[in-house]
Structure 1
């Protein structure tokens, strides 16, 4: 049995209270969990960013504003746990040690944010290392890693496979560009580089892309690995 860690963006799972994207993920996650040990780390998405923005407008310190964002990630995670019913550990875990203990149940383990100043991508990267995951998936609103922002640069190249060190260069460059959103944050990428676990960046808007990658070992996104991997090590 392989171990899989998913970083599931809040904007993917909950683009809005009036347009949740949870139901399509339930059969996919349940099917994966019937074969593999599965952890899911849920982000806060736009709702978390709005809470943080309001807090800062009220002169709330950054750490306290981040705590609000963490609460939103855990709220999103709670919705997922409740939707998964008996397939999930019945409580959103709040740290990595608790996640590892809960995984002994054989249930899907769901968590949100942990520490102010740390993204859920970084939380998932640490969890991938601590759980000795076979693969770490990052499910985002783009279909892989690009050399530039594909929304503004039509010449942007999508990578089928790159090394962690190359991804780190891309992320650092993109973070230095004003207003540029990056696929992952620097801390998460450094964790990927350190632990050597393959990272797969997929378009999370289509849950079947994840299932295809897990079942076939071949993905339609970007593979970040020290060595070429086809199929994936599952």
Structure 2
């Protein structure tokens, strides 16, 4: 088999991807399936860093957060990403993967602090590194955290894992005539407001010439096809 096209990736996983068909929380079967996909590419020598959202956890308390101070709500969301990171780390360890969680918030009892040099060394040693708590500041999404950590880790691509197999001209669940883009430029994604990631994340990736691939984590073998450059998902390219 040929070598992977991408040797170091930043995988952005939405919290909602961990729910499966549940209303909120973590579906054990789903998380084990996702870990199996990651283990497959790690075994091929791909260095994997990750950022995970917290929407699946925060969704359970969202009604109580209505009207809450935005910064407070954002910090709660950061803690939700830590919970997801811990669950993912546990699943990876049980699957035989060596995984480390680094948090942008000071939570030394459950996660290491984010230290760039240490994270890079972990990746070079073949460990999976999960970056929790976003960037540690409110008003910035985990999409922005993924873009920032991707640049800091010298990743070759940010891979956004979703429930949809790419970027479409419209919501494919609502519009049966929606067409999936094979690729598009950052400027196209921003001007068409395609909601690939938030504008801050897109702009950072564009300026740092870091491509993005959007794909479905629920298609068997899809992550491997992405890292081998087999046209899976949609590429947001650097021009």
TM range (shorter): 0.7 to 0.9
- CA distance in structure 1 between the partners assigned to 2:150 and 2:117 by the alignment: 11
Instruction: Summarize the alignment of residues 160-199 of structure 1 with structure 2, pairs less than 5 Å apart.
Output: 160-171=182-193, 182-199=195-212
Residue deviations 1:6-62 (CA, integer Å, cap 9, x gap) = 001111123444633111122322232241221011111333244344222xx4201
The TM-score, its normalising length taken from structure 2, stands at: 0.80
- CA distance in structure 2 between the partners assigned to 1:81 and 1:206 by the alignment: 22
Deviation at 1:207, TM superposition (A): 5.1
Partner in structure 2 of residue 149 of structure 1: 171
Kindly tell me the number of residue pairs found equivalent between the two proteins. Answer: 215
Following superposition, which runs of at least 4 residues in structure 1 exceed 6 angstroms of deviation?
none
The TM-score, its normalising length taken from structure 1, stands at: 0.82
Gaps in structure 1 of 5+ consecutive residues: 175-181, 228-234
Instruction: Summarize the alignment of residues 37-56 of structure 1 with structure 2, pairs less than 5 Å apart.
Output: 37-56=47-66
- CA distance in structure 2 between the partners assigned to 1:138 and 1:54 by the alignment: 29
Superposed CA RMSD in Å reads 2.3
With over 3 angstroms needed to count, the CA separation of the structure-2 counterparts of 1:18 and 1:188, relative to structure 1, is closer
Partner in structure 2 of residue 225 of structure 1: 237
Residue deviations 1:108-154 (CA, integer Å, cap 9, x gap) = 00123232222211111111111221111001111111122222222
Q: Of 210, 220, 230, which residue of structure 1 is paired with 2:223?
A: 210
Contact kept in structure 1, 2:11 and 2:159, CA below 8 Å: yes
Gaps in structure 2 of 5+ consecutive residues: 1-5, 106-112
Matched, 1:136 2:149: no
SS of residue matched to 1:87? coil
